[in-house]
Chains A and B, each alone.
Chain A
Amino acid sequence: MALSLKQRSVLPGFGLTMGFTLLYLSLIVLIPLSATFLKTAAMSWSQFWNTVTEPRALASYRLSFGASLIGAAINMVFGMLAAWVLVRYSFPGKRVVDAMVDLPFALPTAVAGITLTAVFARNGWIGSYLEPRGIKVAFTPLGVVVALTFIGLPFVVRTVQPVLQDLDAEIEEAAASLGASRWQTVTRVILPALLPALLTGFALAFARAVGEYGSVIFISGNMPMRTEITPLLIVTKLEQYDYAAATAIGVVMLVMSFALLFIINLLQWWSRRRYA
């Protein structure tokens, strides 16, 4: 059955739905994306290369990638812990906490941006504790990390949670019966099983963070060379009507996201194979 060909199925509507799917996908996604790549073809290679490697662009990549890596790493640790606590333990208010984990998905990024700024500014709820101790968050690269941690928070939790739930309690009992301590069971049996999901969550959080715009631009202060992220640089170039530069940097970001998408697909394929 698995190999039966589409035109031989008894269910109707393949032509209609497939045709509509392909048409819509092409019009909305594929054609605009390819047009962007074609646009860079108008530039010469050296023009392109100079645009995407100018110092300001390089500084923005460093910040975007660096802050995204740190944010995703923080989320990997705390996301793993949160998934563990939500799956394994019971405590009052667990359902609400579980639902709240998705807040960064549901809260518009502009709102996240201005609130995080308000909270971490010098006179904000948290900022007023940190700044006297010499920790400046708002309008520094640290602020970018905070915003990117916020928007990437649900990814690791939501990829690890189902795997942890499906993990057979018997393998832990088996480890315990073979004389493993609880710590050994966790580090040698459970964590390796969760690894693909953890990495997938990390990659998803990282990919989301690299492209993030709304939640970052308020808290970062947007100083060129210091706190300017790559998406913001694109917007700046657009506002200066420098379409060629905006396109070139945009293509760099597109290539990056496709590479990340490819890695994520590989990770998911790996974890599926592992648990099949």
Chain B
Amino acid sequence: MAGTVALSVAATSITRTRATTEPALVRWTLIGVVLVFLGLFLAVPLAAVFSEALGKGVAAYFAAFREPDALAAIRLTLLTAAIAVPVNLLFGVAAAWAIAKFEFVGKNLLITLIDLPFSVSPVVSGLIYVLLFGLQGWLGPWLAEHDIKIIFAVPGIVLATIFVTFPFVARELIPLMQAQGTEEEEAARVLGAGGWQTFWRITLPNIKWGLLYGVILCNARAMGEFGAVSVVSGHVRGLTNTVPLHVEILYNEYNSTAAFAVASLLAMLALVTLAAKSIVEWKSQRQMAAGKRTAAEGKVR
């Protein structure tokens, strides 16, 4: 969709005539208003992160990362993402395959249910696991009996992260695979390919950019999640603190420089995410546009 969009923009901006655009004065005023608004709300805070982080010099900045608690937080965040992203990736591919390649009753309901975690407040996302696995929860007594700790421990953090990043890959892949249809897979089947062969050789190459896009977004959220993780973590320093939680602790201890230094790490992650996202978006749009183009040309009579 977006690929054809990009092409049409290029075309219309050339052919746009006087009758369908505004006078230069109006144009530049609007551009100015938007840039000031986005500057105030996006650029200034972003710049402030780095300014505050480096406010007491480079040495103080790097000192924040040498602390064992900070390193433990980074390790836990990486571990959490390393579990949450692959399982949601697996789920996303499976769900998209079932939804995009087959027809069944209740498909729209299923898509809505998959999107559900996005509309739940992060705090509530954490709360539901506390109510399930916490001491007061449904399974709490049983877990306590068997000495299994989920809430205020790493498994709880991983579970809450999986919940809040649940839909990312699936919601990228479902529309992409629906748009691509099933003809290529059918062709592969008729040519004698097995199920896995069809998936690995035909489907996966066609969705790789959309898949990567979903993974990038999923990873950013998994590493940056605060509310849900905060509820289930228990804030044990060096044990159940992720990087965002570590930022909060440092900030609440009035260790502002260290807080912003660690925050700058997350801000850089955000910038890398945005850059990677833009590149992948461009690539996947081309993939989608190429698919659409061949399909569209095919349909012209």
Contacts and interface: CB of A to CB of B under 8 A. Distances in A.
Is any CB of A less than 8 Å from a CB of B in the complex?
Answer: yes
Interface of A: 2-6, 9-14, 16-18, 20-21, 24-25, 28-33, 35-36, 38-39, 78, 81-82, 84-91, 95, 97, 99-112, 114-116, 118-119, 124-126, 149-150, 153, 162, 165-166, 169, 172-173, 176-177, 182, 185, 207, 210-214, 218, 231-232, 234-235, 238, 241, 243, 246-247, 250, 253-254, 257-258, 260-261, 264-265
Instruction: Please give me the 10 A-B residue pairs with the lowest Cβ-Cβ distance, nearest first.
Output: A211-B121, A108-B224, A213-B227, A214-B226, A12-B195, A176-B19, A231-B123, A106-B270, A17-B98, A17-B94
Contacts of A218: 251
24 contacts: A6-B104, A11-B182, A18-B104, A21-B94, A29-B116, A33-B128, A36-B128, A81-B34, A88-B21, A91-B31, A107-B266, A108-B225, A108-B263, A110-B224, A114-B259, A115-B260, A118-B52, A169-B12, A213-B227, A214-B226, A231-B123, A247-B131, A250-B128, A261-B119
Given A97-B35, A110-B263, A212-B121, A35 B1 contact: no
Given A81-B34, A82-B38, A114-B260, A13 B112 contact: no
B97 A89 contact: no
A256 to B, nearest CB: 9
Given A9-B182, A107-B224, 7 more contacts: A33-B116, A36-B124, A106-B273, A107-B267, A109-B226, A173-B17, A235-B123
B52 A235 contact: no
B117 interface: yes
A103 B120 contact: no
B300 interface: no
B255 to A, nearest CB: 11
Contacts of B198: 11-12
Main secondary structure of the interface of B (DSSP, over half): helix
B223 to A, nearest CB: 7
Contacts of B101: 9, 11, 14
Interface of B: 1-2, 5, 8-9, 12-13, 15-17, 19-22, 27, 30-31, 33-35, 37-38, 40-46, 48-49, 52, 87, 90-91, 94-95, 97-99, 101-104, 110, 112-117, 119-124, 127-132, 134, 136-138, 159, 162-163, 166, 182, 185-186, 189, 194-195, 198-199, 217, 220, 223-227, 230-231, 243-245, 247-248, 251, 256, 259-260, 263, 266-267, 269-271, 273-275, 277-278
